[in-house]
Chains A and B, each alone.
Chain A
Amino acid sequence: MKFTLSWLKRHLDTDASLEEICDKLTAIGLELEGLEDRAALFAPFTVAHVEAAEKHPDADKLKVCTVKTKDHGTLQVVCGAPNARTGMKGIFAPEGSYIPGSDMTLKKGVIRGVESCGMLVSEREMGLSDEHEGIIEVDEALEIGTPFANVFGLGDPLIDIALTPNRVDCAGVRGIARDLAASGLGTLIDQDESAVKGKGKCPVDVKIEDKDGCPLFIGRMIKNVKNGPSPDWLQQMLTSIGLRPISALVDITNLMNIDQCRPLHVFDADNLKGNITVRETKKGEKIEALNDKTYTSEAGAVGICDDSGLLAFGGIVGGVPTGCTEDTVNVFVEAAYFNPMRIARTGRDMQIESDARYRFERGIDPEFTTTGMEMATRLIVELCGGEVSETVTAGKMPDWKREIEHDPDFVEKLAGFDVPEEKQLEIFASLGFEVKGKGPYKVTPPPWRGDVQGKPDLVEEIIRIIGYDHIPPVSVRPDDAIRHSAETQNLTRTRKARTSLAARGLDECVTWSFMSKDLAGQFGSNDNALTLTNPISSELDQMRPSLLPNLIEAAGRNHDRGFSDVALCEVGPQFQSVKPDGQQFVAAGIRAGAYADRHWTDSDANREVNAFDAKADAMAVLESCGAPSASLQVSRDAPDYYHPGRSGTLKLGPNVLAQFGEIHPAVLEDMDIKTPVVGFEVYLQNIPEARKKGTAKKLLELPPLQAVSRDFAFLVDQDVGASDMIRAAKGADKNLITDASVFDIYTGKGVEDGKKSVALNVMIQPADKTLTDEELEALAQKITDNVASKTGGTLRG
């Protein structure tokens, strides 16, 4: 909401400085959003006289003007405007001045060989309007050197406040003045709200069929008006806040809107066919609107109609055929009250933004409907003359009155500080609230404060006028220490997962929760139930079924910037359904290109990333989150966006904890990724909760005897899994064997095709006595037998 200081002072009698006013606005909840001191901004621009305008020697459309200024002497200016002519007066911008409308600083130029010093400006260049057909022409009676700001009434500071949706009463300067007066910053100046006496019945009758959409409609005919440009004071007021003056009748409605928060509509009565009916629109009614757009109505808007059909969307926008022009002689004035919900719905459905819609949909003062009509009538008669009819009223005043119980002690209970009862009553009175009874009081908010509905609203009214800075801060730190973690299990796991991944060299990313529907199909699912109905782009229209695609795309973007070897991770949600349990917490990561940079110590440092890098990352996350890593089973059933032979799933029984592997080359090809990529996904919620028995760890028992290490080499079929061999070896004696691991795999010379040689190291830990050679030999035999029976492996000779 924009207004100038002088406009405010038409309603508020105050000695307060601009700064005090601005501070107070913010303090009472009308937050100052901007303050433009335009006198300074426009200071360089002044009225200048075009002494001569001659054709440019080298260009048909350009003119070389001799321009007389007050401070810069007489200068030569090249101008392309068709209206530049000898004798006119325009606005001159000197060299070095900042042109607000085109956001540039003016330099001396040579245009087709002719020097040009400064410029004659258009309205667009001054930021007044979009008009750029010609340069600004001012009254030739104005003196050379008159400041531009004075000519257009722009010398005044422009105040812009951010209105919250509840404070529509301050969408009028009068309302702002009323609030400031209540806060003690001056007194509200009386305005003439008396009725204008009309003569004769209004010749146009009004009937309301849609009483829900339009509870009250007041109309009046004013005959024989003389419409035309409005007087300077009105034009300047509108220009000062960025509105374009049109004609007196239209300017008056705009003034009522901004000044009084009272939208009105004026019809050219000679273009009305019969009487006015307010009814719900039918689907498909056409209207050529005053905002230069044509609309086809949806059913159920509030339609202002005559015998010819739909004239206007009530409370939103009027139509061109019945709009007022300079030729309008007889005008029918509409002051109506519309149902905010209906206006909001129509505005949204039809996508029409207007000043009237903004106000009506937020709920303006219904009582002011009558007053607004009278004030507008007075202005029309004053500026355009004419004969006023009596008003015609259809419908009735909506019932807006409500009583709210107010206990003066409630202020301290809710706000934390005491406000004396008299002060509370004084504030209510100053804001127009009616108070009855003697504590608890019955308070009736004024008709312009539809937002005040309950007890806390009344408290807010009192403390915002006193100032929130009176609220005393009180700490909420607990007196005793917190005895448990403040985190949820998900949050703990999220934190641990990202920390362990970053410690392993992965950069944590935050990527969109959505992605392209096409690509989502390749990563599990692109179910329609998870497709956004109004995405911002088709690249971001599907809730992601996996975190990997966004990370892989990120690797691609980094590759394009010259960084091919990346390790990225993300810990966040993925989506399987719209249900609350359809959202999973996942820690995912990728490594692309080379595992590490080349290094002089290690010729293999620069090797390509492989599935085991991803497996190690997944295992690290699982371990940090407390998964029983020793009991995990590895199977080969990772989803099909992984390489079918180079991927795996980490499970506990049927419970899938993680997947890892090379990303399927076909998927990478589709995504136009040129480097190899490996990835993993850990389902944090699937990790079983650790069984917690107090804080003590299991007692460490160190065996007194040294462990024995034995190596075995087995020949097995190529497709035998290492984990099966390890399990078989360990199974030979669960008490004595503490660990088994693969330390070498060999194929090639000496190993027949289809087989591989797998070297196992087995750690044997005797418990109470050293093992004899015979016992060791027997154990070795048992290991060999067990591996043979479980995997078909034979000891390699």
Chain B
Amino acid sequence: MTDIASLKSELTSMVEAANNLQSLEQARVTALGKKGRITDLMKTLGGMDPEERKTTGQALNALKDEIAALIAKQESALRKQEMAGRLATETIDVTLSPQQQRKGHIHPISQTMDELVTIFADMGFEVVEGPDIEDEYHDFTALNFPIGHPAREEHDTFYLPDDPDEKGEEARKLLRTHTSAVQIHTMKKRKPPLKVMYMGRCYRADSDMTHTPMFHQFEILLVDKKSHMGHLKGCLMDFVRAFFEIDDLPVRFRPSFFPFVEPGAEMDIGCSRKGGGLKIGAGDDWLEILGCGMVHPNVLKNCGIDPDEYQGFAAGMGVDRLAMLKYGIPDLRTFFESDTRWLSHYGFDPLERPNAATGS
């Protein structure tokens, strides 16, 4: 038994002394190999009496397991050590920039339109559509612009050649000067109650610091048997406060004129111009934000709706101007220049889509 004890101590120190995987393998062969020390002793078991064979055999097996475990432990330690050595040589320059995916942006007009749709959808309005190329009837006459009236001229309309397939005013093709023409299409197609919104490109032959020949409008229309100016005001107050994200944004309603509404109104929001910059919110000044009013009985009549039974309101606003005001974009003309520096500065992350839960 003393042989086993000294062998154990000898083999243990040999394994522990192994300081690399190669010498550990040597130690393993020496200890456990086919011709190794423990195997050698195992071979002597045959010459022993049964009692001794049993005890020695058990002791040798225990030693074998013990040394094998020790080798495994030593191997794991040595592997870790070796990996650490290798990793130490694998350093990279983490300050280098990774390969970036090109970043795209949503145009502020699209973003603003999505915000408007989100806010009004939340109030129960649904989207309807109409074409950019309209005719004299839908853009003016049906909207109660008297023929030859100066209000028509104020629109600086772009005209296209007459459509030979149509007659009269419907043949006189033009680019819509406002989205209000969609009112007519909608009311001719559908009967009240109506609670709709529509938006898009509008065109006027005007180009200077504050006008572009193409611009965007957003409009709402609500027609039923009971909605009055109080509803109009409430709806628009809810809207401007949600849009500008200012709970106590002051609003002012004042009389104005648009041929297709009566009474007509314009809405102003509070602002301050102190110190040169424009700041929206409670202040000492007002900023015109939209036009609106009760749908004119003539417009309802033109669409086959009885004005003695139905009434309602419409409101329209300039999307580009709303975007300028909300996002502090100074020059309208830059919206249409497609300058990539402008697009990435004023544009929006495509993941930042407006929704009612996260706010517009």
From B61-69, B78-86, B222-230, the one touching the partner chain is B222-230
Q: Which residues on the A side are within 8 Å of B96 (C-beta)?
A: 600
A380 close to B (CB within 8 Å): no
CB distance from B29 to the nearest CB of A (A): 41
Is the beta-carbon distance between A29 and B110 smaller than 8 angstroms? Answer: no
Is the beta-carbon distance between A502 and B106 smaller than 8 angstroms? Answer: yes
Is the beta-carbon distance between A501 and B237 smaller than 8 angstroms? Answer: no
Is the beta-carbon distance between A558 and B263 smaller than 8 angstroms? Answer: no
B121 close to A (CB within 8 Å): yes
Q: Which residues on the B side are within 8 Å of A27 (C-beta)?
A: 254-255
Contact partner of B124 (CB less than 8 A), chosen from A341, A457, A478, A572, is: A478
Is the beta-carbon distance between B340 and A563 smaller than 8 angstroms? Answer: yes
Task: List which B211-261 residues lie within 8 A (CB) of chain A.
Answer: 213-214, 222, 227-231, 233-235, 237-238, 252-257
For B233, give the chain A residue with the smallest CB separation.
A473
Task: List which A552-581 residues lie within 8 A (CB) of chain B.
Answer: 554, 557-558, 561, 563, 566-569, 571-573, 575, 578-580
CB distance from B114 to the nearest CB of A (A): 7
B127 close to A (CB within 8 Å): yes
Is the beta-carbon distance between A476 and B148 smaller than 8 angstroms? Answer: no
Q: Which residues on the A side are within 8 Å of B173 (C-beta)?
A: 578
Is the beta-carbon distance between A575 and B257 smaller than 8 angstroms? Answer: no
CB distance from A203 to the nearest CB of B (A): 37
From A46-54, A138-146, A486-494, the one touching the partner chain is A486-494
For A25, give the chain B residue with the smallest CB separation.
B254
Q: Which residues on the A side are within 8 Å of B254 (C-beta)?
A: 26-27, 29, 31, 468
Contact partner of A529 (CB less than 8 A), chosen from B160, B230, B233, is: B160
Q: Which residues on the B side are within 8 Å of A220 (C-beta)?
A: none
Contact partner of B235 (CB less than 8 A), chosen from A475, A495, A504, is: A475
Contact partner of B255 (CB less than 8 A), chosen from A29, A488, A505, A597, is: A29
Q: Which residues on the A side are within 8 Å of B349 (C-beta)?
A: 502
Q: A456-B262, A476-B235 are in contact. Are A511 and B338 (CB under 8 A)?
A: yes
- Bound complex: CA A471 to CA B133 (Å): 37
Is the beta-carbon distance between A164 and B256 smaller than 8 angstroms? Answer: yes
From A64-72, A278-286, A459-467, the one touching the partner chain is A459-467
Contact partner of A505 (CB less than 8 A), chosen from B102, B133, B148, B297, is: B102
Is the beta-carbon distance between A463 and B338 smaller than 8 angstroms? Answer: no
Is the beta-carbon distance between B161 and A533 smaller than 8 angstroms? Answer: yes
Is the beta-carbon distance between B257 and A416 smaller than 8 angstroms? Answer: no
Is the beta-carbon distance between B255 and A460 smaller than 8 angstroms? Answer: yes
Is the beta-carbon distance between A490 and B263 smaller than 8 angstroms? Answer: no
- Bound complex: CA A595 to CA B103 (Å): 12
B331 close to A (CB within 8 Å): no
Q: A499-B350, A578-B173 are in contact. Are A509 and B131 (CB under 8 A)?
A: no
Q: A167-B257, A510-B109, A554-B338 are in contact. Are A599 and B99 (CB under 8 A)?
A: yes
Q: Which residues on the A side are within 8 Å of B117 (C-beta)?
A: 486-487, 491
Name which of B197, B297, B343, B347 has the most chain A CB atoms within 10 A of its CB. B343
B311 close to A (CB within 8 Å): yes
Q: Mark B180-197, 1 if CB is under 8 A from A, else 0.
A: 000000000000000101
From B10-18, B37-45, B201-209, the one touching the partner chain is B201-209
Is the beta-carbon distance between B230 and A508 smaller than 8 angstroms? Answer: no
Q: Mark B95-117, 1 if CB is under 8 A from A, else 0.
A: 01011111111110110001001
Q: Mark A525-539, 1 if CB is under 8 A from B, else 0.
A: 000111111111000
- Bound complex: CA A500 to CA B350 (Å): 8
A614 close to B (CB within 8 Å): no
B72 close to A (CB within 8 Å): no
For A344, give the chain B residue with the smallest CB separation.
B148
For B171, give the chain A residue with the smallest CB separation.
A578
A691 close to B (CB within 8 Å): no
For B258, give the chain A residue with the smallest CB separation.
A164
- Bound complex: CA A602 to CA B99 (Å): 9
Q: Which residues on the A side are within 8 Å of B263 (C-beta)?
A: 414-415, 456-457, 459-460, 463-464
- Which secondary structure characterizes the binding site on chain B? mixed
Q: Which residues on the A side are within 8 Å of B338 (C-beta)?
A: 507, 509, 511, 550-551, 554, 557-558, 568
Is the beta-carbon distance between A460 and B106 smaller than 8 angstroms? Answer: no
For A487, give the chain B residue with the smallest CB separation.
B127
- Bound complex: CA A530 to CA B201 (Å): 17
A38 close to B (CB within 8 Å): no
Task: List which A571-618 residues lie within 8 A (CB) of chain B.
Answer: 571-573, 575, 578-580, 582-583, 596-597, 599-602, 605
CB distance from A26 to the nearest CB of B (A): 6
Contact partner of A511 (CB less than 8 A), chosen from B120, B151, B336, is: B336
Is the beta-carbon distance between B311 and A414 smaller than 8 angstroms? Answer: yes
Q: Which residues on the A side are within 8 Å of B25 (C-beta)?
A: none
Q: Which residues on the A side are within 8 Å of B60 (C-beta)?
A: none
A327 close to B (CB within 8 Å): no
Is the beta-carbon distance between A29 and B124 smaller than 8 angstroms? Answer: no
For B198, give the chain A residue with the smallest CB separation.
A488
Q: Which residues on the A side are within 8 Å of B132 (C-beta)?
A: 513, 573, 575, 583
Is the beta-carbon distance between B161 and A531 smaller than 8 angstroms? Answer: yes
A348 close to B (CB within 8 Å): yes
B54 close to A (CB within 8 Å): no
B326 close to A (CB within 8 Å): no
A654 close to B (CB within 8 Å): no
For A26, give the chain B residue with the smallest CB separation.
B254
Contact partner of B222 (CB less than 8 A), chosen from A475, A476, A495, A532, is: A476
Contact partner of A532 (CB less than 8 A), chosen from B129, B159, B297, B336, is: B159
Q: Which residues on the B side are within 8 Å of A164 (C-beta)?
A: 256-257, 264
Q: Which residues on the A side are within 8 Å of B280 (C-beta)?
A: none
Contact partner of A502 (CB less than 8 A), chosen from B98, B340, B350, is: B350
- Bound complex: CA A454 to CA B103 (Å): 57
B294 close to A (CB within 8 Å): yes
- Bound complex: CA A512 to CA B201 (Å): 9
Is the beta-carbon distance between A540 and B213 smaller than 8 angstroms? Answer: yes
Is the beta-carbon distance between A567 and B126 smaller than 8 angstroms? Answer: no
Contact partner of A486 (CB less than 8 A), chosen from B103, B104, B125, B163, is: B125
- Bound complex: CA A498 to CA B353 (Å): 11
- Bound complex: CA A340 to CA B146 (Å): 11
Name which of B105, B124, B228 has the most chain A CB atoms within 10 A of its CB. B228
CB distance from A481 to the nearest CB of B (A): 9
Is the beta-carbon distance between A414 and B229 smaller than 8 angstroms? Answer: yes
A543 close to B (CB within 8 Å): yes
Is the beta-carbon distance between A469 and B99 smaller than 8 angstroms? Answer: no
For A472, give the chain B residue with the smallest CB separation.
B230
- Bound complex: CA A597 to CA B99 (Å): 9
CB distance from A623 to the nearest CB of B (A): 15
Q: A413-B228, A513-B132 are in contact. Are A502 and B148 (CB under 8 A)?
A: no
Is the beta-carbon distance between A573 and B252 smaller than 8 angstroms? Answer: no
- Bound complex: CA A605 to CA B279 (Å): 45
Is the beta-carbon distance between A344 and B256 smaller than 8 angstroms? Answer: no
Task: List which B313-359 residues lie within 8 A (CB) of chain A.
Answer: 335-341, 343-344, 347, 349-351, 353
CB distance from B206 to the nearest CB of A (A): 8
- Bound complex: CA A532 to CA B159 (Å): 6
Q: Which residues on the B side are within 8 Å of A348 (C-beta)?
A: 153
12 A–B contacts from the bound complex (CB under 8 Å): A415-B230, A416-B231, A475-B123, A476-B124, A486-B117, A486-B125, A512-B336, A513-B132, A580-B133, A583-B131, A596-B102, A597-B100
**Which 6 pairs of residues, A with B, have the shortest CB-CB distance?**
A416-B230, A505-B102, A29-B255, A164-B257, A460-B263, A554-B338
